[in-house]
Amino acid sequence: MKNGTMSEVEKLDAGLPYDFHDAGVNARKLGAVAKTRELNALPSTEHARRLQLLRELFGSVGGATWASPNRSASATMYGSAVT
């Protein structure tokens, strides 16, 4: 928070309305897309890396989590309170 004003990413993280086109929010979106592409490209036998990427995308997941290939990054991966 700068000078008592929340950044758009801070608003996103807090579940508040935010500017979808903000540079920081866009960087978050692009990061989610890159991680999702990596996840989709990994063989299903790469359990540890797949689980690591899922945790990076969703914050936390159970140890027995499975995600089938061809996921796509959406607003749920970087925030849902869009203005």
The total number of structural domains in the chain stands at 1
Look at residue 32 and tell me if it is in a domain. yes
Look at residue 83 and tell me if it is in a domain. no
Look at residue 23 and tell me if it is in a domain. yes
Look at residue 58 and tell me if it is in a domain. yes
Q: At 22, is the pLDDT very low, low, confident or very high (cuts 50, 70, 90)?
A: very high
Weakest mean pLDDT among 8-17, 43-52, 72-81: 72-81
Which pLDDT tens digit goes with each residue over 28-74?
Answer: 999 989 999 999 899 989 989 988 998 888 888 887 877 777 766 66
The whole domain housing 29 covers 8-63+70-78
- Amino acid letter for position 44: S
Quick one: 59 exposed, middle or buried, by C-beta within 10 A (0-12, 13-18, 19+)? exposed
